Amino acid sequence: MIFDLKSMNFRFNFMRGDTTLSDKLYSAREEKRILDALGRGLLREYPNPERVGCPTSEIVRGIARHRVPLVEAEPWLDHLTSCSPCYRDFSEFRDVYQFRRMTILFAIVASVLIIASVSGWVLVQKYRQRDLVQTAVLDLRDRSVPRGTEAGSHPTQGERPLEIRRTVSHLNIYLPLGSSDGPYDVRVVSPNGESLATVSGTAGLKDHITLLPIEVSLSSLPPGRYALQVRKDGLEWDSYPLVVR
């Protein structure tokens, strides 16, 4: 009875006269208080110096560690609750067992948390890496602004071309100083003037920079020299040399 009341689904019914005070199961904490109170007595009140009728240490340890089936433990329960030395052994084994179980549980929880945070970090890094690879910044702020006349306009010769990778899918274009916000068109033009990709976007002012974010798909373009052209809605194209890698 002293052994794990909860798992035996033991119910206490306190009767006083005809009144049932409670037929609810004890909580784990209440159960422990009762066991402790009983245990304090049990530790002293049944000295058995000759150890008459005592089970082996293995059996006591097995019961304390829940390793002995209840059916096999049952015959010893009465003895354990009426022999102070055995009850003392049982209590010690049980404390060690519970401490070890708590330690293992703690270690498992800690490992799960560590694994979760490490994989979360890896995932974040992966996404960040992917975003970095797929995002390019094109800074037009210090570029001269050659006017593209027609579709086949030639960008200014000699100026270092803008460079982007074909895998890029997102462009952050820093428009020349003084550019206004609002809708813009952006296109990539071949050397012979053919427009290969045209997209639209809306520029906004951010930290004194007119930023035009756009989504592009350049994967079908062969690597080579092109022109990047930008125009404010309804105005002329501005043309910049571009190398696609």
Question: Among residues 41 and 223, whose Cβ is nearest to Zn ion?
Answer: 41
Task: Name the one range near Zn ion by CB under 5 A: 59-67, 77-85, 155-163, 208-216.
Answer: 77-85
Contact 104, 94 (CB under 8 A): no
> At its nearest, how many Å lie between Zn ion and the CB of residue 46?
8
Residue 88 backbone phi and psi in degrees, to 5:
-65, -45
Confirm or reject binding of residue 196 to Zn ion (CB under 5 A): no
Closest CB 25 distance from Zn ion, rounded Å: 30
Among residues 25, 34, 54, 151, which is the contact residue for Zn ion, using CB under 5 A?
Answer: 54
Q: How many CA atoms lie within 13 A of 181 on its CB side?
A: 10
Of residues 65 and 166, the one with the C-beta less far from Zn ion: 65
- According to the binding rule CB under 5 A, does residue 216 interact with Zn ion? no
Q: How far is the CB of 54 from Zn ion (least distance, A)?
A: 3
Beta carbon nearer to Zn ion, 83 or 214? 83
Residue (83 or 242) nearer to Zn ion, CB: 83
Separation between Cα atoms, residue 123 and residue 111, nearest integer Å: 18
Q: How far is CA 98 from the centre of its chain?
A: 30
Nearer to Zn ion, 60 or 171 (CB): 60
What is the DSSP pairing of strand 15-16 with strand 224-232? unpaired
**Could you give the CA distance from residue 31 to residue 39 in angstroms, rounded to a whole number?**
12
79 or 187: CB nearest Zn ion: 79
CB 159 within 8 A of CB 143: yes
83 binds Zn ion (CB under 5 A): yes
Least CB distance to Zn ion at residue 87 (A) = 8
How many residues line the site for Zn ion (CB under 5 A)? 3
CA dihedral for 47, 52, 54, 57, sign (positive or negative): positive
Binding region for Zn ion (CB under 5 A) out of 70-78, 84-92, 105-113, 218-226:
84-92
Please give the angle made by the CA atoms of 46, 51 and 53, to the nearest 5 degrees.
95
8-to-1, 20, 45, 80 alpha-carbon distances in Å = 9, 21, 25, 17
Please say which residue, 57 or 219, places its beta carbon nearer to Zn ion: 57
String of DSSP letters for 144-157: --PBP-STTPPPPT
Residue 86 interacting with Zn ion (CB under 5 A): yes
Q: Which residue has the tokens 């084994």?
A: 93
Q: Does 138 bind Zn ion (CB under 5 A)?
A: no
Distance from C-alpha of 71 to C-alpha of 5, rounded to nearest angstrom:
15
| Binding-site ranges for Zn ion (CB under 5 A) | 54, 83, 86
